[in-house]
Amino acid sequence: MCGIFGYTGHKEAQKLVIQGLKRLEYRGYDSSGLAVQDGFQALLVEKTSGKIKNLEALLHRRPLKGRTAIGHTRWATHGVPSRENAHPHLDNGGEIAVVHNGIIENHFDLKETLKAEGAVFRSETDTEVIVHLLAKYYKGNLENALRRSLKDLKGTYAIAAICSKEPGKLVGARRDSPLVVGLGKKENFLASDVSAIVEHTDRVMFLENGEMAVVTKDSARVVDGAGRPVGRKAVKVDWDITQAKKGGYPHFMLKEIFEQPGILTAVLRERLHGAKIRFDELKIAPRAFRKVKRIVIIACGTAYHAGLTAKYVLEELTDIPVWVDTSSEFRYRNPKLGKGTLVIAVSQSGETADTLAGLREAKAKGALTLSVCNVLGSSLSREAQGVLYTHAGPEIAVASTKAYTAQLAVLYLLAFYLAGLFNSLPQKKRKELLREFSRVPFLMQKTLDQYREDEKEWAEKARDFNARYHAQLEKYFSTDPEKRKRSPNGFFLYLGRNINYPNALEGALKLKEISYIPAEGYPAGEMKHGPIALIDENPWVICLAPQSRTYDKMISNIQEIKARGGIVIPIVSEGDSEIHKLQPFYLIRVPKVRELFSPFLTVLPLQLIAYCVAREFGEDIDQPRNLAKSVTVE
């Protein structure tokens, strides 16, 4: 939620800030702005609503010259997306500028007090109180003013500020929203995450909660709340900037879908050595794992679906019972945890507020905590007792694809690792399964190659759906009672069973996110308990029916849907003997693989269906409306 980028150095700042904000656009993109120190003791500000390209166009016409600047891309929480509410915000005198990611919970009270003291508020945001506090406490030193202001703030924040009276200086602070310092040569950076910095430097310092950063072109200090240096060491990040560019694909989402076989190969190559699994960064000793009696997985959205799949895998390979919960529910229940419970928090960003809160709750209750994260140095990765990185590289499309596969990969390996520790799987079987696991990237690649071959047919089907969908809506909204349908059910239904049930949820989520078409994921066995009432000739029913122990049951489900006129698109294994005989509307084949590993294959067509439909509907695939990649608010 919201991206921050700050620069101070020997280059013109405007271009770098825009570039940095574009990398952070996935964090929010409803408005943006920047403030530049021009070297003549003034701050120049430009901001606007809409995507960063709008800001870029404005700056193209009226460039802001200067070598120190802060910028912001917003995901609105307080106040509509508008120029006034876009950051940076300025104090009355226009001498201090602030950008902020997070929520200031006591902003109403602070605003009243500050207004009574003469502050003039120009926006509806919670953020604006910060800049007026800075002005109130400013006595010639921005660092001190920020330290004092933080004492008055309740809530979450990553803040960056500049002051016209202190040329070349950026100050920043964090509590529960990420902030990173990038260390360059005669230039330094502040940003919400490393993806915005990696094209300039691979040396970064992560701020911890309660810390501040004071950055000039020649120095960067990280200090604690009392202003004492914390001695933070710089770490080297290994993200490659080419990964963050589209590389010839029309959308990041498609590029990231196609990256998945390579990511799984890399994860397996790094972690799987023969039958031995290496988790170098884990930090939890086998001794501690051996005390685990149950596992609770918490996560949100797509990461939650990875957690659900992991439950099937963990329960298949080990004797440990597993519960999975959405973080937002878990944190407000009174979960019974304590010793013997391992809580695994799964998150691409490692910054999801609910998952972070859930992890803290689990720690407070004495559980052993492990995070499975993609973003290096993220809050979850630092706060959990153990961490496993998914190494999927920067995921730019808001709809998560490759992070999901990478999460599955690490969670599967964790299940094998625990099976090894607890001797719950005969060695021979373990080896056999791991050997098959090593083939999965190849099978994923085959699935994607097949899509390339069938791409035209997929596009046609998406066009067909579009036409039917709109015809249906017309009927629904028709003023002619003869034509009017009773309910608009031209939508998608995703059915799966057993280990492919979570993928049914994931397929529906992907479609909803990027095409805004109603979609439901259901365990196929539940159809007869209600959802079958939805079936007529309109819904498109995607049935996950690879070779599995529930294959026959899926055949029955498909027959039931067909009998009611539903449009069925089954996803089956190559060599499928039965389902094609049912003459489905379209049949998608994935390579044959053991049921345990089938989610890696069945998820690919689901991601591609969502992609093709959204493309056909002309939606903004990489940046769907109302969403942000990193949900750092509750």
How many residues interact with ligand F6R (rule CB under 6 A)? 15
If binding is defined by CB under 6 A, does position 301 make contact with ligand F6R? yes
Q: Which residue is nearest to ligand F6R (CB)?
A: 301
Closest separation in Å from C-beta 171 to ligand F6R: 27
* Beta-bridge partner residues of 496: 523
Provide the greatest CA pair distance for the chain.
Answer: 80
Q: Which window, 273-281, 294-302, 413-421, 617-625, contacts ligand F6R (CB under 6 A)?
A: 294-302
Q: Which is nearer to ligand F6R, 352 or 548 (CB)?
A: 352
**Closest by CA position to 347, among listed 629, 604, 25:** 629
Q: Which is nearer to ligand F6R, 149 or 630 (CB)?
A: 630
Pairing of strands 276-277, 235-236: unpaired
Q: What are phi and psi of 70, to 5 degrees?
A: -125, 145
Answer whether 490's CB lies under 8 Å from 539's CB: yes
If binding is defined by CB under 6 A, does position 303 make contact with ligand F6R? yes
Q: Rounded to an integer, what distance in angstroms lies between the CA atom of residue 529 and that of residue 51?
A: 44
Window 338-357: contact mask with ligand F6R (x via CB under 6 A) = ---------xxx--x--x--
Helix (H, G, I), strand (E, B) or coil at 98: strand
Q: Rounded to an integer, what distance in angstroms lies between the CA atom of residue 202 and that of residue 199?
A: 8
Binding-site member from 149, 243, 379, 400 for ligand F6R (CB under 6 A): 400
Closest separation in Å from C-beta 342 to ligand F6R: 19
Closest separation in Å from C-beta 633 to ligand F6R: 11
Q: Which is nearer to ligand F6R, 18 or 158 (CB)?
A: 158
How many other CB atoms sit within 10 Å of the CB of residue 355?
Answer: 30
Closest separation in Å from C-beta 339 to ligand F6R: 27
Closest separation in Å from C-beta 350 to ligand F6R: 7
Q: Which is nearer to ligand F6R, 7 or 258 (CB)?
A: 258
Q: Which residues contact 137 (CB under 8 A, 6 or more apart)?
A: 144, 145, 148, 149
Q: Rounded to an integer, what distance in angstroms lies between the CA atom of residue 240 and that of residue 350?
A: 19
Answer whether 504's CB lies under 8 Å from 523's CB: yes
Q: One of 169, 217, 311, 629 is an active-site residue; which one?
A: 629
Q: Which is nearer to ligand F6R, 318 or 355 (CB)?
A: 355
Q: One of 2, 163, 543, 612 is an active-site residue; which one?
A: 2
Q: What are phi and psi of 439, to 5 degrees?
A: -85, -15
Q: Rounded to an integer, what distance in angstroms lies between the CA atom of residue 546 and that of residue 560?
A: 18
Q: Dump the DSSP string for 440-475.
A: HHHHHHHHHHHHHHHHHHHHHHHHHHHHHHHHHHHH
Three state DSSP letters for 354-385: HHHHHHHHHHHCCCEEEEEECCCCCHHHHHCC
Closest separation in Å from C-beta 610 to ligand F6R: 9
Q: Which is nearer to ligand F6R, 272 or 627 (CB)?
A: 627
Q: Which is nearer to ligand F6R, 77 or 188 (CB)?
A: 77
Answer whether 98's CB lies under 8 Å from 130's CB: yes
Q: Which is nearer to ligand F6R, 66 or 301 (CB)?
A: 301
Answer whether 134's CB lies under 8 Å from 91's CB: yes
Closest separation in Å from C-beta 302 to ligand F6R: 3
Closest separation in Å from C-beta 351 to ligand F6R: 7
Is 2 noted as a catalytic residue in this protein?
A: yes
Residue 81 DSSP symbol? S
| Phi-psi group of 210: left, alpha or beta (phi > 0 → left; psi -120 to 50 → alpha; rest → beta) | left
Binding-site member from 99, 204, 399, 554 for ligand F6R (CB under 6 A): 399
Return the beta strands (E) in 96-142 as ranges.
96-104
Q: Which is nearer to ligand F6R, 399 or 462 (CB)?
A: 399
Closest separation in Å from C-beta 173 to ligand F6R: 23
Q: Which of residues 503-522 bind ligand F6R (CB under 6 A)?
A: 509, 513
If binding is defined by CB under 6 A, does position 256 make contact with ligand F6R? no
If binding is defined by CB under 6 A, does position 300 make contact with ligand F6R? yes
If binding is defined by CB under 6 A, does position 199 make contact with ligand F6R? no
Binding-site member from 69, 76, 631, 633 for ligand F6R (CB under 6 A): 631
Q: Which residues are catalytic?
A: 2, 629
| Binding residues for ligand F6R (CB under 6 A) | 300-303, 347-349, 352, 355, 399-400, 509, 513, 630-631
